[in-house]
Structures are given as structure tokens and as C-alpha cells.
A and B are shown apart, each in its own frame.
Chain A
Amino acid sequence: MAESTSFYNKITSFFEEIGEMTRFAMRFFKEAVSPPFEFRELLKQCFFMGNKSFFLVAVTGFILGVVFTLQTRPTLEEFGAAAWMPSMISISIVREIGPVIIALICAGRIGSSIGAELGSMKVTEQIDAMEVSGTNPFKFLVVTRIAATTLMIPLLVIFGDFIALIGSALIENIKDDVSYQLYFTQVFEALKFSDLIPATIKTFFFGFAIGLVGCFKGYNSKKGTAGVGKASNSAVVYTSMLLFVIDFVAVFVSDLFYN
């Protein structure tokens, strides 16, 4: 009995949380479209996020491209299809692996730091201080951060994809003497709009999810430093889960459209 009640409680609190997060998202849209707009803070956040994840995304992207190419090569060679490498790699990286891996990295880097930052601002009354000084803290802190992740994650993904392809081209160049020019000509031949558009639209949703969950967890963080740790930790966990859900839906929807 006790077990089933606690399971029941878990389920209800899970749905309650989803409800609250939806309300939080609604509030974002409502406040995002009404003046005043905090452009200065938005730019600052965009810069911070780009600056903070730039290197990480580059390294991850490069390794992704290199490893993926090295692992795939033997199989394709076996079938005598090594010439297909550039198109195969570029499609799988740009369509799927690049966006997901880079969004996950950013969830760890950006989402957790938003959760921790807003969480500690909440418990040390900085959010109250902002409100008392006549500034809407939701607008200043939450709207700018969610908008910034929604804009920056797509850019970081495009950048990461590009670095991954460079990594892949490097391996092809070493192993098979494929020139960079030939490699990228093949890449651009293989990639169609129908690959690029859904993949890019998806990343806006990834960015929105990272900002939303980070802000939600931080802004509603419980008293005490333990609350802050929990906010930042659960921001990463929930975001990662949500990213896969969004990815699933996105793939499903684009499949419907293009077939």
C-alpha cells in the first residue's frame, strides 16, 4: 500500500511540475512581448553564453567528427563505398548527432549555470532586491536568459557541426588523400534544404528548453545552499530528458512532412 501511495505521489508531483513549468513558459511569452525590453542584458547574456561554451563546443565537435569518421570508415571500405564518406558523415552529423550532442553539452554548461545563478540570487534575496528597486526580475533575469539560449544554441550547433566536419575532413585527408575542397564539395552536394531546415528549427526548441528549465529550477529554488545545488543539478537532468523528447517529436514531425 505504502509503496503504491508513494508511487502515486511521484506521478502527481511530476505532472504538477509540468503544469507549473507550462505556466512559467506562458508567463515568458506574455512578458517577452510587452515593453520595456531589456536589450542590454539580453546582449550581455548572449555574449556570456557564447563565450562560455565556444571552446567546449569546438573541442566536442572536432572529436565527434574525427571519431565518427574513424569508426565508420572500415565498414564503408568493406562495401567499397568509401567515396560516400563525406555525404554520409555530413548528413548524420548535421541532421542528428551534432544538434543532440552539442545541445546536451550546452545543457550541462549553460543550463546548470543558469539554475545555480538564479537559485543563489533567489536564496540571497537578490531577486527581491531587484523587485524592490522597481525592476521586474522575471523580465530582467528570466526573459533575457531564455531568449538568449533560444538564439545562441542554434548558432553554437551550426558552429559545432562545422568544426565536426572539419575534423572529419582532416581524417579523410590523412587516410585517403581526399582534398578539403573535394570533401566539402561533396558535403554541400549531399546536404539538402530538407536536411538543414528541420535540423535548425529543432535547435531553437533545444535552446528554449535549456533556458526554460534552467530558469524555472533556479527561480523556484528552495531556501538554503542545498536548494541551489539541487536547482542546478535537476536543471541538467530535466533538460537532458526534455532534449530527447523534443528530438523524438521533431524527427517524427519532419518524417511526416517529407514522406
Chain B
Amino acid sequence: MKTTTSNTRDSESNIVLQIENLYKAFGENKVLNGFSLDLKNGENLVLMGRSGSGKSVLIKCLVGLLKPDKGKVEILGNDISTLSQSDMDELRTSIGFLFQGSALYDSMTVRENLEFPLRRHTRKLSSKEMEALVFEALESVGLKHTVDLMPAELSGGMQRRIALARALILKPKIIIYDEPTTGLDPITSKEIIELMNSVQEKYKTSSLIITHDVDCARVVSNRIILLLDGVNYAEGTFNELSNSNDTKIKAFFK
């Protein structure tokens, strides 16, 4: 779905996340060499790249877990390098982050995992309101019955869904998914993919999705960006890229 020229101005003001010329190196290892990207409001943008190409590094730069060497990151109109710690924490509440390995707090129950962001960020909620939000989030991932279990008692796919519920609970405007389907069987992957689509529809979120999984990219993407040698090598819809003649691009869609 290409935006028509008359729409260009409109869509520019619609950008929720913008990365401009990002550089990041670890010693001699130059991971990002001037990467740029923008995420439009309400879109599902997929970022593909080989293992070790720096996808996780890129999104860690976005949320301030890593500091880029050079370049600009703008989220919801805020240049993150100029934000104070407390403003950054405030901004982080409008970003949901799904970690590659779920990263559920394993000393806490599912309920406590979901309450964690709530306790820290919202005005003091009554326990009833908190309960309602927890169940709403669990409902949307279909795991209401696990509320009092520990993460260790859940399967990998269930953990991923709980992690998604935790990322959703503050109703973020942007969600970043780091390989949401990696390590899951095809059926569970499909469930997660459907969940991602329903989240986009229900909460009108904008999503940046990192994946190796071609099926996932086909189903969820409005647009795809390929990360190669630390730059945005190519960009387009799934059909455009998968029918490309460039061998480097083709390699991703085999």
C-alpha cells in the first residue's frame, strides 16, 4: 500500500518513530552504519536482517538500553537524547517491548508480572481497577486461567503471550517485537501472529516487528525494511521485496 503523493504531507505528520543515520559500534565491530527508518501511525513495519546483523542492537538504541554513537532517534516527537531520565521513563510507558526471550520476572506470578508496570506508572489504582486491567490484558491473549501461576509453570508459547500481555497493559502507542515467533512451533507461531494482528486492530498501535520468519512477515507486515551491513538496504511491501531480482534480497525470502 503506497501512499499517494497528495498524502505525503499527511503521512509525515503521522510518523510516530523516526531513526535518522544511526551509528553504533562495539570496539572494532561496526554494527550500525547510518541506519534510518520511520514508523508511521498504525502500521506494522517488519525489520528483517540476518542473525547478528544488529537488529536487537537497533531496538535497544530506541528504548535507551544502549546509547548510539551518532544519529537521532525521535519517538512521538521527542528526541530521546535530550530527555531527562524521568522524561525518558515517562516516554517508555508509551512503548511496549516484547523481548526475544520473553523476559518475564521469574520470581513473580503472572499477576505480579502484569501489575509491575501498572504499580509504577499509573496514578494509584485501587486493587479492583488493577484486577480489571490485568484480566483485560490476559483476556486479549486468551490466558485468563494462568493468573496465579509462576512463569516457570508455563510453556514457551504461553510465556510469550504473557509477555505480550505485559507489554500491552499500559496501552502503549508503539509496540516493538523482537522475534516474536522464534523458537515456537508453527501452530503456536500462528497464534502469536494472529494475536499481533488483533492487537493492532483493537488498540490501533504502531508496531515495529523484528523477525526471520517469512510467514510472519507475510501475514503481519504493511511494509518491510531489510537491514544489511548496518544500513537500510531495501524497503517495500512483502510482494515487492519477495519478487525482487536482487540476489541479496531474494536470500531473505527463500
Contact = CB atoms under 8 A, between A and B. Distances in A.
20 contacts: A125-B100, A126-B103, A126-B105, A126-B106, A129-B99, A130-B105, A130-B116, A131-B64, A131-B65, A132-B63, A132-B92, A132-B95, A133-B93, A133-B117, A133-B120, A133-B121, A134-B90, A134-B93, A134-B120, A135-B120
A227 B127 CA distance: 39
B77 interface: no
A117 interface: yes
Contacts of B224: none
Given A128-B65, A129-B97, A134 B117 contact: yes
Contacts of B93: 133-134
Interface in A3-20: none
B110 interface: no
A14 B99 CA distance: 34
Q: State the majority secondary structure of interface residues on A.
A: helix
Interface string B83-114: 00000011011010101110111110000000
Contacts of B65: 128, 131-132
Contacts, number: 49
Size bin of chain B's contact surface = 20 to 34
A124 B103 CA distance: 6
A43 B90 CA distance: 26
Given A132-B65, A132-B92, A132-B97, A126 B104 contact: yes
A171 B117 CA distance: 55
Nearest to B88: A134
Given A120-B106, A131-B65, 13 more contacts: A124-B103, A128-B103, A129-B99, A129-B103, A130-B105, A131-B64, A132-B65, A132-B95, A133-B92, A133-B120, A134-B93, A134-B121, A135-B120
A129 B120 contact: no
A204 to B, nearest CB: 26
Interface in B104-141: 104-107, 116-117, 120-121
Contacts of A121: 105-106
Contacts of A129: 97, 99, 103, 105
The listed residue with most B CB atoms (<10 A of its CB), out of A117, A124, A125, A132, is A132
B120 A128 contact: no
Interface in A164-215: none
Contact of A125 (B92, B101, B107, B120): B101
A34 B42 CA distance: 39
Interface string A14-44: 0000000000000000000000000000000
The listed residue with most B CB atoms (<10 A of its CB), out of A121, A126, A131, is A126
A117 B107 contact: yes
Nearest to A40: B119
Contacts of A130: 105, 116
Contacts of B100: 125
The listed residue with most B CB atoms (<10 A of its CB), out of A120, A121, A128, is A128
A125 B117 contact: no
A134 B106 CA distance: 18
B58 to A, nearest CB: 14
The listed residue with most A CB atoms (<10 A of its CB), out of B92, B100, B103, B107, is B103
Nearest to B92: A134
A133 B120 CA distance: 8
Contact of A124 (B64, B101, B116): B101
